[in-house]
Structures are given as C-alpha cells and as structure tokens.
Amino acid sequence: MRLKINCDFDSKIIPKDFQSKVVSLFKAGITKSSPERYEDLFGGNKHKQYTFSVYLPKPRNKGAEIHLDEANCIINFSTGDAETGIIFYNALISLKGSKVLFGTGNHITIKNIQIVPEKKIIGNRTVLRTLSPIASRAHDRETFKNWFYSFEDEEFEPTLKRNMLPYLMDAFGEQARYDLEKLKITPISMKKVVVYCHEIHIESSVGIFELEAEAYLQKYLVDNGLGTMTGSGFGMVEQF
C-alpha cells in the first residue's frame, strides 16, 4: 500500500533533520484520528512495519537548514500491512488542509493524498532504486554505540541481514532465516551518503541495485522498507 502525499510549506527553508519532522507529522495525525493506536505504533523500540521517503525540490544544504527551490514536498509512504495503511491514511487525511509545525518557523500543509498502484513482483530478481537511503547498523551491546555501514563496506550486507532477521522471522517464521541467508544485493549504480537524522550523522547508501531473493521476501522489503530504521525514513525502495 503506497501513498503519495503532496504537501506545501510556508517557506522554502526546512530543517536539516526533516525526517524527524515528518515522523512528528505522522504522530500528530495519529494522535488526532486514532489515539488508541499511538502507543502501539510509537511506544517502545520495535521495528516499524512501514517506510517513507521525502522528495524535495532541488534541496541545498545550508548548515542546519535546507533551502528548497519551491515551498513544497512529496512524502511517499509505504506499508505491507493493511491496518497500518489505514491508520496512516486516516491520520494524514485528518490533517489535510491544516498547518502543522515543521521547525525553523516553517509549517507543513497536506494538500492531497494519492494511492500509488503497486507493481507485481515476478521471479526472484528485481532491480530496485532507493527512494530513501538504506541504513545498515551494527549495534554494540556493551558500549551502546551504533556503527553504520555503506554498501562499500564488506560488513554492509551481513549487517543488513542481521538487522532484518528478527522482523522477517517474526513475519514468516524459521523459513525466513534460511531464505534471508540466500538474499543477495548487487550494486548497479550506488553511492555513499551521509544523512543527518535524530541528531546524528548516518552513513548510508542510495542508488540502483539488484536484489536477489525469494519473491515473498522481495515483496515484504519493497512494501515495508529494506534494512533498519525504516520508520525514520530509511530503506524505501521501488522497482526500477
């Protein structure tokens, strides 16, 4: 289930940490339309079964701000879970037309929400393109420190698999472990980017790559995002 949310800003200047602001927008909507689901979705640290990306018109980094060519953006949202889809759809439609704080004195206004048709997944190979960067994160349990890998690192793919294992097991059971081991990512045209999010710099990867995996895994990852931190706007991909 894919939503395309067209939004307007009051000004062309938005904060560098805009992903967090989008999450705040979601939270504001859900507080309004389905408050009983808030805890379920944002309380605790569990994996988010959705992902999003933000398309900005010609963004230019200016310190803690980003300057845009036009005062608007498109938020792409995707989930493979129908219930989550409805909650977010209802949340966003409940905010339609109203101004919501977006930081740097700016406000965001949802203009309309469109449903994007999904492509079918055929076979066990697909060429995908990132709509938001893919994060691969190693977590040190002793120091509580995070280490992020880009596709150039040898640890990128194994770490990514470790990130995905718990939630894929959750969704599909033991079979997922076996199929995940066989999953393969082959970069076609990728580059390393550093994203500022939640007050840290995150090394991540964008571009085009080939994903080789069982069709059900492909579908799940295309629907819900690939890698970790999908709920913070990482790992959204689409078929190329």
Partner 1 sequence: MQTEIEVRADDWLINAGLVGFLNIVGKENVRIDGQTIYFTADLLEDFETKYFNFFIKEYKETLSWSKIVSYKDIMERFRAEDFASFDEEALANLNKYMKDVVKFYLKKSNYIKVFSLIDAKANVNKWLENLNTINLTKKQKWEDVKADIIEKVKQNYTQLDAIIDFCASDKGLQYLAAKNLIYSVINKGWSGISFLLKQTKIMDPYLDYKTSFVDPIIEYLDTDLSKAKYNCFSCNQPIKNLKLDLSFMNEVGFDTARKTAHVWDFNNDVATCPICRLIYSCVPAGFTYVYGEGMFINDSYGVDELHRVNERMRNSILRFNKDGINSTNTYRALVESITMEHENNRRYELADIQLVRYENEHYRFNLLSKKMLDIVNDSRGILKSLIRCGYKEGNLNINLYKEVIQHLMNNENLFTLIHKLIYYKQTNVNGLYYNMGHVSGILDINTKFLKEMEVMTNISQKQLWFVQNCGAEFKEGYVTKKSENKISGITYKLLNSLKVNDKDGFMDTLLNSYSYLAKPIPNVFMNVFTNDEAFKSVGYAFMLGVGGEKTKKEDGGNTDEK
Which CB atom, from 96 or from 184, has the smaller least distance to partner 1? 96
Q: State the nearest-atom distance from the C-beta of 18 to partner 1, in Å.
A: 24
Q: State the nearest-atom distance from the C-beta of 206 to partner 1, in Å.
A: 28
Q: State the nearest-atom distance from the C-beta of 189 to partner 1, in Å.
A: 32
Q: State the nearest-atom distance from the C-beta of 232 to partner 1, in Å.
A: 24
Q: State how far the Cα of 216 lies from the Cα of 176, in Å rounded to an integer.
A: 10
Which CB atom, from 90 or from 239, has the smaller least distance to partner 1? 90
Q: State how far the Cα of 26 lies from the Cα of 30, in Å rounded to an integer.
A: 6
Q: State how far the Cα of 16 lies from the Cα of 162, in Å rounded to an integer.
A: 29
Which CB atom, from 202 or from 217, has the smaller least distance to partner 1? 217
Which CB atom, from 41 or from 185, has the smaller least distance to partner 1? 41
Contact at 8 Å (CB) between 57 and 72?
yes
Which CB atom, from 203 or from 223, has the smaller least distance to partner 1? 223
Q: State the nearest-atom distance from the C-beta of 7 to partner 1, in Å.
A: 15
Q: State the nearest-atom distance from the C-beta of 77 to partner 1, in Å.
A: 12
Tell me which residues touch partner 1 (CB under 8 A): 1, 3, 33-34, 37, 80, 82-83, 85-87, 89-90, 93-94, 96, 112-115
| Strand order from edge to edge, sheet including 99-103 | 51-55, 72-78, 2-9, 106-116, 99-103
Q: State how far the Cα of 160 lies from the Cα of 134, in Å rounded to an integer.
A: 9
Q: How far is CA 202 from CA 32, 91, 130, 192, in A?
A: 31, 29, 16, 10
Three-state secondary structure string covering 67-117: ECCCCEEEEEEECCCHHHHHHHHHHHHHHCCCEEEEECCEEEEEEEEEEEC
Structure tokens at 90: 């209802």
Which CB atom, from 111 or from 182, has the smaller least distance to partner 1? 111
